[in-house]
Amino acid sequence: MSIESGVKRKRFLSPQEKYEIWMQLVRGETTVSEAADRARVDRSTVAKLREVARQGALDALARSRPGRRDKQRDVELEAAGAQVERLRTALAEMAVRLTLAEGKERWG
């Protein structure tokens, strides 16, 4: 694909560029056509960017529950609880072994 044949070379936008374009669209500062021209991309690219950003925002808001703990914290808490239980079991086993070892020496 050459520029001479009238086909534009594909241009990739950075996440920051995408965010800025999306914010301009949300605030009504620009249109899809104007944003595409400024960013030197196809209008369909900006339209897709707008839809992906909208869906991402909706998904994030759906997961967000005011007053509730973040699920990641719950996962970390569960992992810590499991680690505590493993350590408790290991400590109990060591205590039994120590008791048996000390007990044998006294009887021997």
DSSP string for 9-36: PP-PPPHHHHHHHHHHHHTTSS-HHHHH
Lowest-confidence region among 14-18, 59-63, 86-90 = 59-63
**pLDDT, mean of residues 75-92:** 90
Residue 55 has pLDDT above 90, yes or no: yes
Q: Can you tell me the distance from the alpha carbon of 46 to that of 11, in angstroms, rounded to the nearest whole number?
A: 12
| pLDDT tens, residue by residue, 57-80 | 998 888 887 776 656 667 888 888
Looking at residue 1, what is its pLDDT?
A: 47
Confidence (pTM)? 0.52
| pLDDT tens, residue by residue, 19-30 | 999 999 999 999
